[in-house]
């Protein structure tokens, strides 16, 4: 079974590449973030035509998450149970479902913006709510994973230059402590370093030739429980999909399971 996560940075803009990639990669389930569309605008029919069904939570702004599966979608839960609001709204940042033998969450963790910004506190609250929401499944016997854009680099080696991030979000101790607490529910980073590349980043800014210079970050993660981790046979970052015209600023992260 092949499972992937990909921040597509607008599913409408990325649709031709997405459809081609799903077919060429043989992915069974894709967790999507940053759909940037309403639920009515989501390309469910185009995905259905190539054999995938969809579950989506989106409001048309810069957030939005989805699960795309060709092995079933059952017991869909939209939103983060107990999650905090920002500006009076619970943003569309989490969706979960059972896909064949596994239970999966697609999450788009708040960016945080700046350490002094209210969005940073919201990010930490959101991560705490995520920990509480997944604890039971993480400790269970069914293969379970939380995949998505976490907007946190777990360690200094997960950014191209730690000094360049001094005083910025994504690398602070409170953010990393929140990831540690999430893993404490029974989850493991199942796509660890090293991979094919010395620095298996998953995100590169569009500006200043960041991708050609490999000035990236590893912020798209796959956290699985013990049964999920035991089934993992391979994992990789598909850097090729970050290349060329019309690419997202994130690359897909792919995991192969024997389940």
DSSP for 144-185, please give it: EEEEEE-S--SSGGGBS-GGGGTT-TTS-HHHHHHHHHHHTT
**Any known ligand binding at 9?**
no
Gap between the terminal Cα atoms of the chain: 7
Active-site pick, 28, 52, 108, 203? 108
Helices assigned H by DSSP within 110-150: 118-138
Q: Is 121 strand, coil or helix?
A: helix
Active-site pick, 28, 137, 149, 220? 149
The tally of CA atoms less than 13 A away on the side-chain side of residue 30 is: 23
Residue 165 and residue 162: Cα distance in Å, rounded? 5
199 is catalytic: no
Torsion of CA 7, 9, 14, 15, to 10 degrees: 70
CB 95 within 8 A of CB 76: yes
CA 257 to chain centre: 17
Backbone angles phi, psi at 13, to 5 degrees: -65, -30
250 is catalytic: yes
Residue 168 and residue 49: Cα distance in Å, rounded? 43
203 is catalytic: no
How, if at all, do strands 253-257 and 53-57 pair? unpaired
Residues that constitute the known binding site for Mg(2+): 7, 34, 149, 151, 249-250
Residues that constitute the known binding site: 7, 34, 149, 151, 249-250
Residues acting as catalytic residues: 108, 149, 250
């Amino acid at each position: 079974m092949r499972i992937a996560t990909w921040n597509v940075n607008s599913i409408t803009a990325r649709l031709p590449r997405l459809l081609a990639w799903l077919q060429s990669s043989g992915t069974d389930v894709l967790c999507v973030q940053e759909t940037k569309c309403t639920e009515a605008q989501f390309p469910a029919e185009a995905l259905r035509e190539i054999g995938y069904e969809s579950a989506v939570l989106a409001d048309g702004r810069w957030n939005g998450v989805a699960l795309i599966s060709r092995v079933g979608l059952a017991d869909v839960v939209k939103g983060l149970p107990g999650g905090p609001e920002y500006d009076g709204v619970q943003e569309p940042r989490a969706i979960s479902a059972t896909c064949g033998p596994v239970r999966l969450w697609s999450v788009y963790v708040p960016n945080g913006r700046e350490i002094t910004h209210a969005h940073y506190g919201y990010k930490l609250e959101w991560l705490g709510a995520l920990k509480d929401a997944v604890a039971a499944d993480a400790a269970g016997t069914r293969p379970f994973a939380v995949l998505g854009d976490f907007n946190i680099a777990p360690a200094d080696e997960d950014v191209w230059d730690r000094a360049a991030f001094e005083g910025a979000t994504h690398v602070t101790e409170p953010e990393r402590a929140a990831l540690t607490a999430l893993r404490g529910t029974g989850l493991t980073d199942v796509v660890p370093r090293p991979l094919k590349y010395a620095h298996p980043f998953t995100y590169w800014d569009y500006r200043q030739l960041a991708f050609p210079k490999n000035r990236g970050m590893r912020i798209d993660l796959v956290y699985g429980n013990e049964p999920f981790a035991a089934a993992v046979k391979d994992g990789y970052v598909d850097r090729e999909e970050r290349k060329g015209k019309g690419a997202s600023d994130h690359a897909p992260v792919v995991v192969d399971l024997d389940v």
